Amino acid sequence: VDTPVMGELRILVNGALGIDRSTGRIVGTSESSGTPAKELFEHWTGQQVSEADIETTGLLADQFLMPGFIDTHTHAPQFSFLGIGHDLPLMDWLNKYTFKHESEFKDPELARKFYKGAIDRVIRNGVTFAAYYGTIHLEANRILADTIRNAGQRAFVGKVCMDANSPDYYSESTAESIEQTEEFIKQVLGGQGNCPADTRLVTPIITPRFAPSCSSECLGALGELAKRYQLPIQSHLCENPSEIEFARQCFPECTSYTEIYHKHGLLGNHTIMAHCVHMTAEELVIMRDTGTSISHCPTSNFTLGSGLADIRRFVAQGIPVGLGTDVGGGYTPSILDAMRMAAATNRALIASRRLSGEDLSGRDGVPLEAAEMFFLATQGGARVMGMAESLGSLDAGKLFDALVIDLSAHASPVPSVESTFAISCLSDPVEAWRLRLEQFVFLADDRNISRVYVGGNLIHSKC
Ligand code: GUN
Ligand code: FE
């Protein structure tokens, strides 16, 4: 199952998929109906293969294969206060919990002990590719990057930059911010030889925390580093009204929050801006014209009370959108939870607009469907990460970052087919799977994620 296009679920019942172990890429997919693997491989590749070189694995009746989940925005150190402080608005939450706990990662020993558990938790939830924020500390970030690579997960990892308006106990000089970012880039890239960007497991990402935490000099230098090393960029944008006001006070010469990043060369088709809850029409035009992507973080937007981001509007304007868990603003590293929260956000927006008598013609009034959430969690996320050609679906040529889902797993929250009368009465298997997938989107959790593959390698298995 995959969704190469938003809203279009592609379901292959009794399908077969081949992977080339030497590249980690998908070589083909077909209806299988008992065709021998050797025959399928020769059909896909046009080359002779010997039986001895082929290894086969089958799926059970209530299992399916799908692309891995992509988390386009999360904070690895913030797993240390998961589920705490969600009654506070953003700026109070940052000051009371976030900066304090992140500052503790100045101790590399803590990073060594802590990050392994956090990353395992993300992988167990089926995330094959994530954009992580670390902390300001070079050594702890290096440990984070090594931990991820050793676990076999694909990731962007950012050294957080904070050289302005930050607490004394958690800030750095402008020179430190820039030099340590470059040092981190060299360490991460240097540790992985010269492999091409799409097969490199861990890629550094330029990470100004948000405009108010950086000086103009720092932002400009980070834009230069991104260009020089051809690296992606991530930050936060228009999350909460007080934060927007803070950003505007810090950069009074800019006409909007978005303009601050634009002016410093930080927007473009390799930039991911998280939240974007309160964007003006002018700001969305800048996003579209620069090709900048949005990480929709609905769980965090609900828990910190930031607001409702209108992703239908972003999509209509041609701005790439994916999902982010934003741990620990969000309380869960599960992209399935993010999918459901995206649906809830969309329903709440439609309901409030209907109440206020707004025009809901076109797509504006159409509830987000399960297939659209599935897209945001996979192919949409791949586009946001600038990797749409290599990841996000099960097309031949793409890297095999995938999940085996077991809807009948032990203690599964998804009910059996027999007890789901809406499905057990159907005779068309594709229609039955369509409803089964709706149940997956709304009910499943990590108990249903049986196997996790990245680049063809099995990195997590339930059995
Ligand atoms: N804005 C600046 N820093 C943060 C952070 O850590 N989390 C969220 N949600 N917003 C931020
Ligand atoms: Fe965040």
236 lines ligand 1 (CB under 6 A): yes
- Whether the pLDDT of residue 377 is over 70: the answer is yes
Task: Please indicate, yes or no, whether residues 61 and 167 belong to a single structural domain of this protein.
Answer: no
- How many independent structural domains does the chain possess? 2
Task: Please indicate, yes or no, whether residues 166 and 49 belong to a single structural domain of this protein.
Answer: no
ipTM above 0.95, yes or no: yes
**Number of other CB atoms surrounding residue 248 within 10 Å:** 17
Instruction: Please give the distance, rounded to the nearest whole angstrom, from the Cα atom of residue 453 to the centre of ligand 1.
Output: 30
Instruction: Please give the distance, rounded to the nearest whole angstrom, from the Cα atom of residue 461 to the centre of ligand 1.
Output: 32
The two structure tokens encoding residue 414: 């998804």
Task: Please indicate, yes or no, whether residues 255 and 319 belong to a single structural domain of this protein.
Answer: yes
98 lines ligand 1 (CB under 6 A): yes
75 lines ligand 1 (CB under 6 A): yes
18 lines ligand 1 (CB under 6 A): no
Task: Please indicate, yes or no, whether residues 296 and 350 belong to a single structural domain of this protein.
Answer: yes
Instruction: Please give the distance, rounded to the nearest whole angstrom, from the Cα atom of residue 191 to the centre of ligand 1.
Output: 29
Task: Please indicate, yes or no, whether residues 408 and 374 belong to a single structural domain of this protein.
Answer: no
Phi/psi at 69 (nearest 5 deg)? -75, 145
We report the CATH number of the domain holding residue 16 as 2.30.40.10
We report the CATH number of the domain holding residue 378 as 3.20.20.140
301 lines ligand 1 (CB under 6 A): no
Instruction: Please give the distance, rounded to the nearest whole angstrom, from the Cα atom of residue 236 to the centre of ligand 1.
Output: 7
93 lines ligand 1 (CB under 6 A): no
pLDDT value for 194: 65
- Whether the pLDDT of residue 133 is over 80: the answer is yes
Instruction: Please give the distance, rounded to the nearest whole angstrom, from the Cα atom of residue 322 to the centre of ligand 1.
Output: 17
Confidence of residue 241 (pLDDT cuts 50, 70, 90): very high
* Pocket perturbation via mutation, ligand 1, pick of 94, 166, 272, 326 by most ligand atoms within 8 A of CB: 94
Atom from ligand 1 closest to the CA of residue 300: 9
Task: Please indicate, yes or no, whether residues 353 and 368 belong to a single structural domain of this protein.
Answer: yes
pLDDT value for 364: 84
Sheet architecture: strand order including 63-67: 63-67, 402-406, 449-454, 457-461
Q: pLDDT by residue (tens digit) across 221-238?
A: 999 999 999 999 999 999
Q: pLDDT by residue (tens digit) across 180-224?
A: 999 999 999 997 776 777 778 999 999 999 999 999 999 999 999
Rounded to whole angstroms, the Cα distance separating 432 from 452 reads 25
Task: Please indicate, yes or no, whether residues 401 and 420 belong to a single structural domain of this protein.
Answer: yes
* Pocket perturbation via mutation, ligand 1, pick of 71, 165, 210 by most ligand atoms within 8 A of CB: 210
Atom from ligand 1 closest to the CA of residue 326: 9
Confidence of residue 361 (pLDDT cuts 50, 70, 90): confident
Instruction: Domain of residue 25: give its range.
Output: 2-67+393-461
The bound ligand whose nearest atom lies closest to the alpha carbon of 295 is 2
Atom from ligand 1 closest to the CA of residue 239: 10
pLDDT value for 381: 98
Task: Please indicate, yes or no, whether residues 226 and 287 belong to a single structural domain of this protein.
Answer: yes
pLDDT value for 363: 81
What is the share, in percent, of the chain residues with pLDDT greater than 90?
A: 95
pLDDT value for 34: 84
Task: Please indicate, yes or no, whether residues 99 and 206 belong to a single structural domain of this protein.
Answer: yes
Instruction: Please give the distance, rounded to the nearest whole angstrom, from the Cα atom of residue 462 to the centre of ligand 2.
Output: 30
Rounded to whole angstroms, the Cα distance separating 51 from 38 reads 6
Query: What's at 305, amino acid-wise?
Result: G
Domain end marker among 361, 384, 407? 384
Task: Please indicate, yes or no, whether residues 326 and 444 belong to a single structural domain of this protein.
Answer: no
Average pLDDT of the residues of the chain: 96
Task: Please indicate, yes or no, whether residues 317 and 337 belong to a single structural domain of this protein.
Answer: yes
**Number of other CB atoms surrounding residue 120 within 10 Å:** 15
Task: Please indicate, yes or no, whether residues 101 and 201 belong to a single structural domain of this protein.
Answer: yes
Indicate which residue's Cα is closest to atom 11 of ligand 1: 236
239 lines ligand 1 (CB under 6 A): yes
pLDDT value for 131: 99
Q: pLDDT by residue (tens digit) across 71-87?
A: 999 999 999 999 999 99
Domain end marker among 384, 417, 445? 384
Atom from ligand 1 closest to the CA of residue 306: 9
pLDDT value for 87: 95
Q: If DSSP states are collapsed to H, E and C, what string results for the chain?
A: CEEEECCEEECCCCEEEEEECCCCEEEEEEECCCCCHHHHHHHHHCCCCCHHHCCCCCCCCCEEEEECEEEEEEEHHHHHHCCCCCCCCHHHHHHHHHHHHHHHHHCHHHHHHHHHHHHHHHHHCCEEEEEEECCCCHHHHHHHHHHHHHHCCEEEEECEECCCCCCHHHCCCHHHHHHHHHHHHHHHHHCCCCCCCCCCCEEECEEECCHHHCCHHHHHHHHHHHHHHCCCEEEEECCCHHHHHHHHHHCCCCCCHHHHHHHCCCCCCCEEEEECCCCCHHHHHHHHHHCCEEEECHHHHHHCCCCCCCHHHHHHCCCCEEECCCECCECCCCHHHHHHHHHHHHHHHHHHHHHCCCCCCHHHHCCCCHHHHHHHHCHHHHHHCCCCCCCCCCCCCCECCEEEEECCCCCCCCCCCCCCHHHHCCCCHHHHHHHHHHHHHHHCCHHHEEEEEECCEEEEECC
Domain end marker among 320, 354, 384? 384
Atom from ligand 1 closest to the CA of residue 243: 1
Q: pLDDT by residue (tens digit) across 18-55?
A: 999 999 999 999 988 789 999 999 999 999 999 999 99
